[in-house]
Amino acid sequence: MIISTIPAARSVSVVVATVDSVRSIRDCLQRLRQTLEGSDSEIIVVDASRDGTADVVAEVGGYSELIRLPFGTLTPDLWAAGIARSRGRVVGLTTGHCLVPQPWAQVLAERIGSNSVVGAAGALDLDDTAGVLDWAVFYLRYSEFIPFVNRSGEHVHTIPADNAAYDGGDIRRYIESTAAGFWEVDFHRSARAAGKSLAFVAAGTALFGRSFPFMTIAAHRFAHGRHSGSWRVQTGASTAIRSVLAAPLVPFVLAVRTARRVSRVRRHLTRFLASLPIFFVLAASWAAGEAWGAVAGPDARSFRPAQA
């Protein structure tokens, strides 16, 4: 089901992917409305929740479209559905768990197109409302971006799509060329190969707040790993047997890598250590999914469902 209220062309579109975001979506949308105030913009919410998130979205209002997709639809597929509906010259991507700063839309949009920048992002930091489960999710998914908190950088290798803006024409062409969703690693690779660049913007740093229930994030980590495993085998980056044999070691490799990234920031190191048991379980979910995807092949990759 699609609820549409303002179907018009915009200079900036923001696509918000929401999966069981009831604890943070109100604050998320209110902050987005503040950053977009006075601009020619739209907010497209694409929801695949079963916790009442869509009801809160409808209550808060201020969005242009609310697209409902089945529970279990992955965030890259939610983004793709929103990107397809977007009309902005610049398209911002985020999730219902992220809380953007006031200048977010302006500072990211200003970077798009300058010096061949196709995507600009702020880093992610932890909000004070986040709990231990949220810490584990944050360190598993975003630890590589902690060094960019409140820093700017040019020609970086990758940026977090959860807190980014892209050239609207480029990402719309990308999702039109594939049946899969918006998987930023693949898009970033193809963009760099075409001579485009990625950038970090200090003033775009956002906060990661209250996030998923445990079972939801565990299932999504497995599904994302499954996609990665299939993709790595299909592209020749790995083999099925290598992925299966490496799976038991993956959680430990991820933990060591994360510990190195957070070791110089005491508050992050303390929270990472406190969340380590949950981190290991979620990392194991990813590793199991990656091994499964490597064996199952392309049929294991998720595909964007048709909009209802």
Residue 70: give its domain's CATH number.
3.90.550.10
Strands 163-167 and 117-121: antiparallel
Q: Order of strands, edge to edge, in the sheet holding 206-208?
A: 98-99, 206-208, 124-126
- 115 and 192 housed in the same domain: yes
Which residues neighbour 264 within 8 Å (Cβ) at sequence distance 6 or greater? none
Whether 283 is covered by a domain: the verdict is yes
Residue 15 sits in the same domain as residue 158: yes
Q: Given this model, what pLDDT does residue 297 score?
A: 73
Is the same domain home to 121 and 269?
no
| Residues 170 and 221 grouped into a single domain | no
Q: Using CA of residue 229, residue 72, residue 274, residue 24, what is the dihedral sign?
A: positive
218 in a domain, yes or no?
yes
Examine the domain organization and report whether 64 and 79 are in the same domain. yes
Look up the pTM and report it.
Answer: 0.90
Phi-psi region of 52 (alpha: psi -120 to 50; beta: other; left: phi over 0): left
Claim to verify: residue 50 and residue 160 sit in the same structural domain: yes
One domain, residues 294 and 169? no
φ/ψ of residue 249, rounded to 5: -90, -20
Kindly state whether residue 304 falls inside one of the protein's structural domains.
no
pLDDT at 237: 82
Boundary-marking domain end, from 157, 176, 208: 208
Q: What is the pLDDT of residues 54-81, one digit of tens each?
A: 999 999 998 999 999 999 899 999 999 9
Residues of the chain with confidence (pLDDT) below 50: 1-7, 300-308
At which of 149, 174, 208 does a domain end? Answer: 208
Total domains in the chain come to 2
For residue 306, being part of any structural domain is answered with: no
Do 183 and 286 share a domain, yes or no?
Answer: no
Where among 177, 208, 239 does a domain terminate?
208
Note whether 177 and 261 are same-domain residues: no
- In terms of domains, do 241 and 148 share one? no
Structural domain span for residue 124: 2-208
Residues 147 and 266 in one domain: no
Q: Are residues 197 and 225 in the same domain?
A: no
